[in-house]
Structure 1
Amino acid sequence: MLEELKEFRDKLDNLMCSCMDKTIVIYGYGYSGRFIAWYADYYHSIKPRYSG
């Protein structure tokens, strides 16, 4: 695996683990917001809730 990708995943995993019992607010739902929502659900079983 590319070293940059491993470093990115490590940082993102640490962030997700530190937010397990907290509310995560994603402003906007562009590509980056969709990626974060997918990553949280796929790798950490964190189910995003949406409000409009």
Structure 2
Amino acid sequence: MAALSPAAPTLPKGTSMADITQDDIDTLAAKPNNRPRKTLGYDTPAAGLAALLR
């Protein structure tokens, strides 16, 4: 069995989007963006983007 990818859905099946707030969405988006990546030299995507925008 393959490991779950970072892009795997994080909401349980059947979750109603009517119950999801913007804060919930921001929290869900922050998780993969703050996970270190080997391809980025163990930096996070958020840190890489911040460095590009400086």
Which category describes the TM-score, using the shorter chain as reference length? 0.3 to 0.5
Give TM-score, length-normalised by structure 2: 0.33
**TM, length-normalised to structure 1:** 0.34
Task: Give the greater-gyration-radius structure (CA).
Answer: 2
